[in-house]
Amino acid sequence: MLSVAENEETVVPPSGAQLTAARKFVKAHGKPSRAVVENIGRAGARVVLVGADGALGDVVVPSVATGEALVEAVEDLAPATWDAETVNQTKIGPEHRRKMAGR
């Protein structure tokens, strides 16, 4: 059984580079943009960015808590989940599909 201390997550603030990447995405792809924070295990968390124009991007951070702090810190970036509205906003083009397929 985990003790409370072992189960708590330390919030590491997002780095300047992570904040800059998210801000540039919002500027390039419209306001408001959405962010879905996904746990990716030991590697940390992936903040999936969905622009107002449907573009996808991401920023990898050390933890879910850091991802949530990143979303809070970036103006015009709204927290989201993979609900129907967020999924329908995405526009996945052929180039992105090839990248996801590893080609």
Q: Is the full-model pTM beyond 0.75?
A: yes
The neighbour count for residue 51, using CB atoms within 10 Å, is: 21
Q: Which amino acid is at 4?
A: V
By the 10 Å C-beta count (0-12 exposed, 13-18 middle, 19+ buried), 89 is classed as middle
**Cα torsion through 38, 67, 21, 31, rounded to 10:** 80
pLDDT in tens, 35-52: 999 999 999 999 999 999
- Confidence label for 5 from pLDDT (cuts 50, 70 and 90): very low
Q: End-to-end CA distance of the chain, in Å?
A: 43
